[in-house]
């Protein structure tokens, strides 16, 4: 792997970071293990011989510069992204390399677009936030479903998870988001984010078979409300979550994911059902797969691969559906997702 391109994975020892490191190796890249905890980096390197470790705190710009030195790109897997995204993006801009993260935090993604859009565009840099199961996948599906439409009235993203065993990072990021919102919830309506104090509605969603009709929490808002409106003219973007998965997430004693196969994946399954509506016409895209954390790795690594080989459509802070050819990108994930796009 001496001639392989080096890609820094910040937060490499985290649950999702480990999947990303292993996927990079499978795709012929040379992962560089970076993060805040030097001991955890060394322990991880001991199980993956030949990988360099570069400890760096987000409040130490010089250390971040050393961590990114000589790399072709950086993938940030270290949450909460309210803390890590801006410093690592700053370092990537200084290094002149693309930045990809897997942030699911709504406010952190809003901050990335607001703070770095002009600078990244002026520098000709590519910064892709939320290149993950939440945010990136929904955006790609919605973009593919839109097809030749230039606008739509509504986009609905329903998450059919059979369970949700959150990682420590997911819980920490959720706590930061709740604090930033002052306990309020958020939705995207009338072309803007709205913060509300009322409860989430419960309704039935007709998922494709074999899942069928399931109870979901409406307006269970995920990063899709940032990624989709960033480039698609859709004034109403709503996301939904199966009740049982939401219950798992909120319960303090739900255990972390447990590996059940040789790839480290859990037994969790998912179905993402995306519906876009314009007037009386509807279009749909559906993705099925296993383990929301594991599937984030091929999403993020495919993004880096396309950026480094020039298969992009825009520069600046960009979401997946804007910067990549959405149908082609989704086709490239066929080993990891089962897809059905109906127009």
Give residue-wise pLDDT tens across range 245-291: 999 999 999 999 999 999 999 999 999 999 999 999 999 999 999 99
Kind plus residue range of the DSSP H or E element containing 240: strand 236-242
- The pLDDT, as a whole number, for residue 319 is 98
Q: Are residues 149 and 255 in the same domain?
A: yes
Burial of 157 (0-12, 13-18, 19+ CB in 10 A): buried
Give residue-wise pLDDT tens across range 68-105: 999 999 999 999 999 999 999 999 999 999 999 999 99
Q: What is the CATH number of the domain that holds 144?
A: 3.30.360.10
Give domain status of residue 76, yes or no.
Answer: yes
Kind plus residue range of the DSSP H or E element containing 189: strand 185-189
Residue 194 has pLDDT above 80, yes or no: yes
Give domain status of residue 269, yes or no.
Answer: yes
Contact 296, 101 (CB under 8 A): no
Q: Are residues 184 and 75 in the same domain?
A: no
Q: Are residues 138 and 283 in the same domain?
A: yes
Distance CA 251, CA 258 (A): 17
Burial of 96 (0-12, 13-18, 19+ CB in 10 A): exposed
111 pLDDT band, cuts 50/70/90, is very high
Kind plus residue range of the DSSP H or E element containing 140: helix 138-146
Rg (CA), the chain: 19
Q: Which domain covers residue 163, as residue numbers? A: 133-292+337-342
Q: Are residues 288 and 300 in the same domain?
A: no
Contact 232, 152 (CB under 8 A): yes
310 pLDDT band, cuts 50/70/90, is very high
Q: Are residues 99 and 224 in the same domain?
A: no
Contact 72, 100 (CB under 8 A): no
Give domain status of residue 259, yes or no.
Answer: yes
Q: Are residues 175 and 198 in the same domain?
A: yes
Distance CA 237, CA 272 (A): 15
pTM: 0.97
Give domain status of residue 331, yes or no.
Answer: no
Give domain status of residue 263, yes or no.
Answer: yes
- The pLDDT, as a whole number, for residue 72 is 98
Q: Are residues 142 and 245 in the same domain?
A: yes
Angle at 22 between CA 336 and CA 315, to 5 degrees: 75
Q: Are residues 86 and 26 in the same domain?
A: yes
Bridge pairing between strands 154-161 and 269-278: antiparallel
Give domain status of residue 196, yes or no.
Answer: yes
Contact 72, 126 (CB under 8 A): no
Give domain status of residue 1, yes or no.
Answer: no
Residue 327 tokens read as 């149908």
Q: Are residues 286 and 311 in the same domain?
A: no
Mean pLDDT, the chain, as a whole number? 96
Concatenating the DSSP letter of every residue in 152-185 gives -SEEEEEEEES-----HHHHHHHHHHHHHHTT-E
Q: Are residues 124 and 263 in the same domain?
A: no
Q: Are residues 143 and 274 in the same domain?
A: yes
Angle at 252 between CA 247 and CA 255, to 5 degrees: 85
Give domain status of residue 332, yes or no.
Answer: no
* Alpha carbon separation from 175 to 10, 87, 180, 199, 249 (Å, rounded): 21, 20, 9, 18, 12
DSSP character for 136?
A: I
Q: Is 316 helix (H, G, I), strand (E, B) or coil?
A: strand
Q: Are residues 127 and 153 in the same domain?
A: no
DSSP character for 333?
A: T
Residue 2 has pLDDT above 60, yes or no: no
- The pLDDT, as a whole number, for residue 1 is 39
Burial of 8 (0-12, 13-18, 19+ CB in 10 A): buried
- The pLDDT, as a whole number, for residue 342 is 81
- The pLDDT, as a whole number, for residue 149 is 96
What domain count does the chain have? 2
Q: What is the CATH number of the domain that holds 92?
A: 3.40.50.720
Contacts of 146 (CB under 8 A, 6+ apart): 152, 232, 276, 283
């Amino acid at each position: 792997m001496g001639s392989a391109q080096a890609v820094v994975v910040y937060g490499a020892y985290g649950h999702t970071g480990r999947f990303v490191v292993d996927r990079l190796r499978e795709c012929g890249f040379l992962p560089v293990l970076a993060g805040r905890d030097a001991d955890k980096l060394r322990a991880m390197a001991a199980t993956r011989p030949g990988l360099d470790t570069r400890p760096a705190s987000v409040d130490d710009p010089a250390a971040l510069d050393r961590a990114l030195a000589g790399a072709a790109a950086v993938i940030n897997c270290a949450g909460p992204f309210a803390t890590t995204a801006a410093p690592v993006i700053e370092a990537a801009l200084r290094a002149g390399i693309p930045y990809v993260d897997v942030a699911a935090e709504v406010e952190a993604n809003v901050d990335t677009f607001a703070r770095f859009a002009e600078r990244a565009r002026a520098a000709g840099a590519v910064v892709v936030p939320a290149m993950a199961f939440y945010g990136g996948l929904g955006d790609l599906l919605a973009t593919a479903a839109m097809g030749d439409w230039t606008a739509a009235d509504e986009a609905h993203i329903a998450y059919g998870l059979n369970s949700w065993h959150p990682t420590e990072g997911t819980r920490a990021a959720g706590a930061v988001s709740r604090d930033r919102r002052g306990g309020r919830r958020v939705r995207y309506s009338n072309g803007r984010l709205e913060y509300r104090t009322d409860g989430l509605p419960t309704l039935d969603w007709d998922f494709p078979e074999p899942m069928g009709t399931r109870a979901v929490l409406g307006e269970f808002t995920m990063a899709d409300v940032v990624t989709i409106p960033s480039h698609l003219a859709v004034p109403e973007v709503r996301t939904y979550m199966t009740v049982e998965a939401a219950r798992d997430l909120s319960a303090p004693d739900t255990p972390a994911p447990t590996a059940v196969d040789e790839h480290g994946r859990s037994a969790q399954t998912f179905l993402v059902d995306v519906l876009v509506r314009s007037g009386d016409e509807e279009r749909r895209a559906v993705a099925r797969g296993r383990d929301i954390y594991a599937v984030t790795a091929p999403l993020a690594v495919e993004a880096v691969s396309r950026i480094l080989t020039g298969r992009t459509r825009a520069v600046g802070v960009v979401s997946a559906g804007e910067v990549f050819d959405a149908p082609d990108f989704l086709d490239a994930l066929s080993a990891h997702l089962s897809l059905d796009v109906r127009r």
